[in-house]
Amino acid sequence: MDSAEFVSQARRLAIAAGDKIMEIYNSDTFDVKVKSDESPVTEADEAADAIIAEGLRAAFPDVALVTEEQSASHSETANTFLIVDPLDGTKEFINRRGDFTVNIAYVENGTPVLGVVYAPAKGRMFYTLADGGAVEEMGDFDADQPGDTTPISVSDPDNAALMVVASKSHRDQATDDYINKYGVKDMKSAGSSLKFCLIATGEADLYPRVGRTMEWDTAAGHAVLLGAGGQVVRFDDHTPLAYGKDDFANPFFIAYAPGVDLKPAS
């Protein structure tokens, strides 16, 4: 995969999908359905999925593609592929809270090495670079003309005063019990893959996820965090979170800035 070409195409498609999402988000009403796993899906999810899938298949016809909305038809498991969540944070979208993202990633040998995360309602975009780093783009997000970028990197955490970010829609007692093992200075809630990006920019140090996620939920944010010097490991044994699993389901995990003294899972 040509890294620069991936970022160019994924950035352009993320913005196009984001524009469509915001058009629906700002309308008076939109359709909401329930999928077989009882999670919600909106017309914005489906429209964004169509835009991104068509664009990626045209740009990278020889690379396997997995998207959330088409995952049921993907029968082959690979460890190198493109993976997309066209609208991560559907509950945030439905409740008009703004914490939703467009996510496009490239996984190589089980690791997400390239990624674009775009939060259209928040006006924030993050992506990896060919040199292995990660940046946040500023400006008007012109699909054809990238704006100014700022390199991002994780914090140097103080284990006596950590900044912790947790899910806005999926917070539970198990998460709180784990967080309580740490010295916490401040806690913030965020939806979708923005949590990875807040660690990548140094706005947070630690994000534990003790709950269900899928590979498309995490891959792009994971790639951005790796590019910024962070890590994502399994909750149970602290080994790297890997991709290409048969059902695309993630185990519980911890995303963090190196320097955080990880606590045991139990």
Q: Which residue has the higher pLDDT, 240 or 93?
A: 240
φ, ψ (nearest 5 deg) of residue 85: -115, 105
Alpha helices in 95-193 (DSSP H): 173-179
Q: In what order do the strands lie in the sheet with 231-234?
A: 184-190, 162-167, 206-209, 253-256, 231-234
φ, ψ (nearest 5 deg) of residue 57: -65, -35
Alpha helices in 122-244 (DSSP H): 173-179, 194-200, 215-227
Question: How far is CA 36 from its chain centroid?
Answer: 23
Q: Are 120 and 204 members of one domain? A: no
Question: How far is CA 164 from its chain centroid?
Answer: 17
264 occurs within a structural domain: no
Q: Are 58 and 35 members of one domain? A: yes
pLDDT recorded at residue 167: 76
Residue 192 confidence class, pLDDT cut points 50, 70, 90: confident
How many domains, in total, are found in the chain? 2
pLDDT recorded at residue 238: 96
Q: Are 106 and 178 members of one domain? A: no
CATH number of 241's domain: 3.40.190.80
Question: How far is CA 192 from its chain centroid?
Answer: 7
Each residue's pLDDT tens digit, 2-48 = 999 999 999 999 999 999 999 998 887 777 766 656 566 778 889 99
Average pLDDT over residues 89-98: 83
Q: Are 122 and 16 members of one domain? A: yes
Residue whose pair of structure tokens reads 């664009």 in the numeric block = 55
Q: Are 129 and 188 members of one domain? A: no
Are the CB atoms for 121 and 103 separated by under 8 Å?
no
pLDDT recorded at residue 38: 57
Q: Are 22 and 106 members of one domain? A: yes
Cα distance between residue 45 and residue 237, in whole Å: 34
Q: How would you label 49-64 residue by residue, b for 16+ Cβ within 10 Å and e otherwise? A: bbbbbebbeebbeeeb
Q: Which residue has the higher pLDDT, 139 or 258?
A: 258
- Residue 37: exposure state from Cβ atoms within 10 A (0-12, 13-18, ≥19): exposed
pLDDT recorded at residue 170: 61
Q: Are 217 and 137 members of one domain? A: no
pLDDT recorded at residue 233: 98
pLDDT at 191 over 90: no
Cα distance between residue 30 and residue 13, in whole Å: 22
Q: Are 147 and 169 members of one domain? A: no
Each residue's pLDDT tens digit, 57-84 = 999 999 999 998 776 555 456 789 999 9
Owning domain of residue 241:
162-256
Structural domain ending residue among the three candidates 98, 127, 151: 151
Are the CB atoms for 127 and 134 separated by under 8 Å?
yes
Average pLDDT over residues 197-224: 96
Residue 171 confidence class, pLDDT cut points 50, 70, 90: low
Q: Which residue has the higher pLDDT, 144 or 104?
A: 104
Q: Are 116 and 184 members of one domain? A: no
Average pLDDT over residues 142-166: 95
156 occurs within a structural domain: no
pLDDT above 90 coverage of the chain, percent: 71
pLDDT at 198 over 90: yes
Are the CB atoms for 78 and 244 separated by under 8 Å?
yes
Q: Are 183 and 122 members of one domain? A: no
CATH number of 104's domain: 3.30.540.10
pLDDT above 70 coverage of the chain, percent: 93
Average pLDDT over residues 195-199: 96
Q: Are 168 and 198 members of one domain? A: yes
pLDDT at 239 over 80: yes
262 occurs within a structural domain: no
Are the CB atoms for 113 and 128 separated by under 8 Å?
yes
Residue 169 confidence class, pLDDT cut points 50, 70, 90: low
130 occurs within a structural domain: yes
Q: Are 222 and 183 members of one domain? A: yes
Among the residue ranges 64-73, 82-91, 122-131, 242-251, the one predicted with the least confidence is: 64-73
